[in-house]
Each structure stands twice: as structure tokens, then as C-alpha cells.
Structure 1
């Protein structure tokens, strides 16, 4: 696929130059790259100079968060995903350890009765092979996992972590079904999707991952539970609508980061998928202190890179040991019962 068609750009550690993304400035110079936003954005993908980037002093490894506009053309979506993975690993090979893709990376259509493959089917097998081909862990943020012999054509909305050998390391099936009411009627995700019922945390090269999807973000009980299960980095792939995206997206992501004291990595769908559906975009990475440390702002498929330094997670939890001060004896408890003390 040509650059003219895909038009992928890369951005690294976007900070003070994004005036419409407010946050308290981060003063850790060792955790940012020396290449500023204006310079990065002006360069076509694949022509930047890694020598200008300075990751010295950062203890942890690097993650990527992608942004794309899926359609009902599965082959086109696959090509877009591969190009994003290919470019990210080519440009940042050796330091990049995790690629994150949005919800519904495989398919967005206007029909509720569509055949979807299982995770062992031919389509997702190809996605697993991408991870092995490019030697990278991939968060596939929401695959339409078919349910065998289901006459309703329902599927699971499944977040899958695949390692660099092409093996599935974890699967999470979205548990909260999105319901949206407007003057045009009510849209209910449960008409197409069967909810899951398991919380999932798994190990990865960038820390212990807590898995979720999109509408889950509105239920803080889930994220408290993921933190209690040991999560250090929480993934929230999404396909937010425009109205809710403008008003709620960044606010919710920041809140989840602050309350869990985890990195939040949120890969998002963007743009017009068909005549009846558009997505907000603005893929973000938020640090445990609530600062936005990376953001995709382009309307075309793109990605951004950030360091995930778990020392910052430990520092946030030490400075504000709020989990040690919880009162489940008064207001009850949720999720996992074990909670490590702050150190």
C-alpha cells in the first residue's frame, strides 16, 4: 500500500506543543525524546532520523499506540494494520516492545448479520502471524470473535494479546455492552455482541497489562479490580463516537490513570467508517500521575510512540498511597481481594 493511500505519520512524546490537550507539565527530561512535535509531524513516515532521539536514562521499554479507520473491507483493514506494524517496527526496532491497535481493527460495518471467524480461524491466524513476522507483541484491541453455531450471528468483542512468536497470551471479552440513546432511537451493542464475564491481567515486555475495551471505561470498578490484580499498564482500545469523544474521552482516560496509578494506553478508531458511523480518534497515552504523554492528532491512520517507565508508576504510588487508605469495611469491596501495599 502506498504512502499516498495510507499517509501514516509518526509522533513521539507530544507535549507542550499540543495546546488543546491540557495537562500539568512533566519535568522528567530523561523520559522524553529530543525530537519535538512540530519537527516529527513534518516528516513523512519512514524518513525520520533515530539519531535525533534520546531515550537515555529511561529504565523501561517503548510502546506504540495506533489509530486507524476500519471499514467493512477486511482485506483493506488487514493491510492498514500490517503497514502500521511494519512501519513502527522498522522505525523503532530494538526499542519497541508492544504495538497497540484499536477496537474493531478488523471490521466496522452496518450489518448485524455478518459471519465472523473464531480466534483459530483463517483471519485471526493471519493477524497472529504478523506478530511473529515483525517480532513484536501486539495488542489487538477488539476482534469480532465468532461464536460457533450461534444462529443470532452474535460475536464476542475480544481483546487479544499476541506475543512476538505469534502465540495468544491473553484474551479479554468485553463485558459492558454500550447503549446510546438519541432522538434517532437507541443503539444497543448487545444486539450484536455477547458480553464476557472475566477480568484479565497478563504479563508483557512493558509490564503487567490490564485489559479492557471502550465502553468499559465508564465503569471504574473494573479498573480498581485490574489495579488490585497487579496491573501496571491498562489498555483501553476504543471506537468512541464524536459527541462522547469530545466531551468524555480524555477526561475518562485521565481519571482512570489517576485513580489506578497506572499507565493508560488508548488506541482509537478515527474518521468516517460508513454513512452512519464516525469515530472521534485522539489515541492517547496517560501516565500514572495523570499527564498526557503522547497523543495522535492526525485524522489519517497514524501512530505515536512513548516510553512506559514503571519507575513512574512506583513513584506515583509512593507519593499518593491512596490504595493503602481505602475503606472497604465501610463501602464494600470489588474484584480481586489481594492488594499489594505501596512500597
Structure 2
């Protein structure tokens, strides 16, 4: 296994040639590549064009001292996490607090012991590599796990306890592509996958821009959740924006690929972890979720169907317009359920009215 020090580039900044020569010999012996500067200004000029993994700085330098050099390095994004070690003959108690305040990672006393220097360098470079790997992992995880779920998992990790489920008022939005099953049999899988991915990507952006979050993908659609102030209006505007974008794409031979239907309902849900101990899903469940999914099933292509509960919350919004009530027979519900088709009000005339889309449905 390759040593973490091998081939790493270290910038040594000291105004004494004898110190630089001694440290250069040690560092080269560790398999490191050594760059040198005699003062802070020269060091900054050097790093403008060079990659550096780690810094060894003397504190007493002509002009800009080592403390100020460290502070300036920390202002550069690419050196934000690069280890900075001060090499000094000053007592650690005298400089310690200031050295760490400006962003230093460690202090090594002169004369420098090769064993101590090697151990300290190895420790700090390994920590930097671990932090880099964690950063990459977190960025990749964010592509698969919703930010709220990740924060919940981090909170549980800190507390050592699984959060208990809780009741919450939310709006739930479902989208679904009409005739997707038929399309999957008629199109090449690669083409279908690429277009579906693009379509879902646009929907996800709409959800987040309108203050919601994606709970899950359901094949050819999404389940989104909106909570907090304005959740009812935000969910409606999100749905209309998704339809607007689909209208712009739904033309010619591609029309069948953008026939999205949307259902929205608001009410109380249970939110929390479900599943087994080794694999949990942080999600919302309850009748509110079920009804939103059923309303989506009743929505025609390029239309939005919302519940009576949602309409009551936003009926006075000029940005929205609702049809006459529809009585829908919902599976699992004995009595007919009142629902409404949602279209854009006067302030959002760019969104296609449902009646203008009949040609695309046929």
C-alpha cells in the first residue's frame, strides 16, 4: 500500500537556507516533492501556478509573516483544506492560539525531529484525504437521497436515536406519464430512458424551485411533498409549471412522451422511518398520500386534478382557476369525492389552458 506522503507536493517557506536544506532532505526522504520560497510574497506567487498538497511555514519571515501567509492561503478555495503546519523555535504556548485562529493545523518545534515530522505530515494528509472522500461521498449521496432525508439521517447519527414518526400537515403531489407502458413497448429502451430522465429532471427542478422536495420516484413520475407556509399555493404553481413545460415539448412525434397528469391533495400525514433496521425509508404515509395518487390517476394528459381540501385553501388566489366540481369515484372510498381541474389564472397566461390541449390527447 502506497504511503500517503509519496509524491505529495509540499511548499516549504523559510528565510534560512540551512533550515530549508535540512527540511528538504527529510521531506525528499519521505518520497515528497519539495517546493521552496524564502518569503510570503514569493510563496503566493508560486502557488498561483503550482499545485500544493501541504504547507510548512516559518512564522518569522521578512515582510509578510507566516501567520498572514496562512490566512491568505485559507482565503483561496483550493487551499481551504490543505494542511498548514508552522515550523518555529518559538514556544507553542506563545503562538498556539493565534496560529490556529488563522487556520493553521499544527505546530512543530525546531529543531525538527524527522520521526515527528513524518508522523505529523502523515496524520494531517490522511485526515485531508478522509475529508475529501467524505465530501465526494456526500455529494454523490445527495444525488440519490433528498437533502431533508440526509439531514434527518445526520441528526439521528449525532443523537444515536431513530426519530419517532410525527403527524404533519402537508400537500402531496403526484405526476404520471400517460400511456407509458405502451411507449415502453414501442420505443428503444435507450431513447425512452433518456427522454424520461430529461422529463423527470425538469419536474424535480420545478418542485425544488417551488419549495417542495421529492419523496420518491415512481417509475415514470414523482411523488413530491410541500410543507410550511404557502404549501398549497406552491404545490399548485409547481403543477402548472410542470404542465407548461410539458406543453412546450408536446408537439409532433414527441407529443406522446410528455402527456403528464398530476394530482394534488393536502391533509395530515405520518412522516417518519418505515422498513427494516438495516434499510429504512424516510417517507410520508396515510390517506392524504393515497388520495393524491388516486387524483393523479383521474387526471387526463396535460391536466391537473386537485382535491376540495386543497381548493379551499387557495380558491381566492388570482393566479389559479378551478373548474366546476367533479364527482370522482375513488377506489376504497364509498362516497364520491369532489375534485377540480386546475388551470392558470390571468397572471400566468403562458400556461396552456386544458381545453386547448384536446388535440394532443387524441
Please indicate the TM-score interval, normalised by the length of the shorter structure: under 0.3
Structure 1 or 2: more helix by fraction: 2
What's the TM-score, normalizing by structure 1?
0.23
Q: TM-score, normalised by structure 2?
A: 0.22
Q: Which has the higher contact order (CA 8 A, sep 6+)?
A: 1
Q: Which has the larger radius of gyration?
A: 2
